[in-house]
Amino acid sequence: MKVIVADDYGMMSKEAAEIVAAEIRKKPDCVLALPTGGTPLGLYAELVRMHKEEGLDFSCVFAFNLDEYIGLPEDHESSYNFYMHDRLFNHVNISRDRIRIPCGLAEDPEEEAAAYEWAIKRAGGIDLAVLGIGRNGHIGFNEPRTEFGSLTRPIYLAKRTIEANARFFQENPDAVPRRAISMGIRTIMNSRKIILLASGVEKSHAVNQTVHGPVTEMVPSSVLQLHPDCTLILDKDAASELEPSPNGFIPGPGIKTMVY
């Protein structure tokens, strides 16, 4: 597992954007899996800048969201559909028919999830999955105890996740949905390349368990130790609990890279 530690959130976001942009340049019709939440806001801002100032071309890119709340219409301000359009899709030249986000209002969420999993397969599988991480080690909305063999499916959010996400429902923090459709652990692990972003000291424990902890379904992100091409991109605070790598580190301007 490769770990990049950036001096601050801005550098972490730029580093992640460089990796996403490199994937798009290498394979213009690449398939991306994308997260929402607070962590990737800087990444999306940087990708929008790269599109506007450097001509980064999204026209052939396929984008699959990691998850969506069940019960919210896509134009609801707290839906992940709204978030993705507001933060990224409306500002780059991605083709609308290459954007897939689970429908939060699907009559049959199981069927919607199965169709979503199938759509990922039909697109050729995920080339690059971009992940955030919950304080409990969740990736996507795969909460502790999720089976490593899980595929896209309807899930129940953990109490801690509902509490953490109440900040995005300022008008009514009690309105955070209890359920979502999420890519499964196996769906994510099948990606050819994975990057995970984490910022802030409140993520440091989960990051430490991801890198050093036992591989266990109690810490879903620990499964990433088994992936052949996974890079964590952290700011200093998120990296603050990590043991130094026995292999030392490769320094760079504002960042250092370690291999565990």
Q: By CB under 6 A, which span of 49-57, 88-96, 130-138, 186-194 interacts with ligand F6R?
A: 130-138
8 A C-beta contact, residue 101 and residue 65 = yes
Of 92-100, 107-115, 120-128, 131-139, the window that binds ligand F6R (rule: CB under 6 A) is 131-139
Q: For ligand F6R, which stretch binds (CB under 6 A), given 56-64, 134-142, 151-159, 245-253? A: 134-142
Site track for ligand F6R across 56-95, x = CB under 6 A: ----------xx----------------------------
Does 38 sit near ligand F6R (CB under 6 A)? yes
In this structure, are residues 70 and 180 in contact, taking their beta carbons and an 8 Å threshold? yes
The residues, any chain, with a CB within 8 Å of residue 175's CB and separated by 6 or more, are 78, 169
Query: Is 85 marked active-site?
Result: no
Q: How far is the CB of 122 from ligand F6R (least distance, A)?
A: 22
Q: 161 or 255, CB closer to ligand F6R?
A: 161
The least distance separating ligand F6R from the CB of residue 203, rounded to whole angstroms, comes to: 7
Catalytic residue among 23, 143, 217, 235: 143
| 220 touching ligand F6R, by CB under 6 A | no
Of 16-24, 87-95, 116-124, 136-144, the segment contacting ligand F6R by CB under 6 A is 136-144
How many C-beta atoms surround the C-beta of residue 227 within 10 A? 18
Which segments within the chain are labelled E, that is strand? Answer: 2-6, 31-34, 62-65, 67-69, 99-100, 128-131, 153-156, 179-182, 193-198, 230-235, 249-252, 255-259
Query: How far from chain centre, in Å, is Cα 103?
Result: 18
And the tokens for 39? 């962590």
H helices present in 27-173, as ranges: 41-54, 80-87, 109-122, 159-165
- Would you call 174 a catalytic residue per the annotation? no
Residue 86 CB neighbour total at 10 angstroms: 12
Catalytic residue among 67, 112, 127, 217: 67
Find the catalytic residue in 23, 81, 112, 136: 136
- Catalytic annotation present for 163: no
- The minimum distance between CB 18 and ligand F6R, in angstroms, equals 19
Smallest gap from residue 65 Cβ to ligand F6R (A): 7
67 is catalytic: yes
- Using left for φ > 0, alpha for ψ between -120 and 50, and beta otherwise, residue 71 falls in left
Among 13, 39, 209, 222, binds ligand F6R (CB under 6 A): 39
Q: In angstroms, how far is the first alpha carbon of the chain from the final one? A: 5
Residues written for the chain: 260
Beta bridge partners of 152: none
The catalytic residue positions are 67, 136, 138, 143
List contacts with ligand F6R (CB under 6 A): 35-39, 66-67, 132-134, 138-141
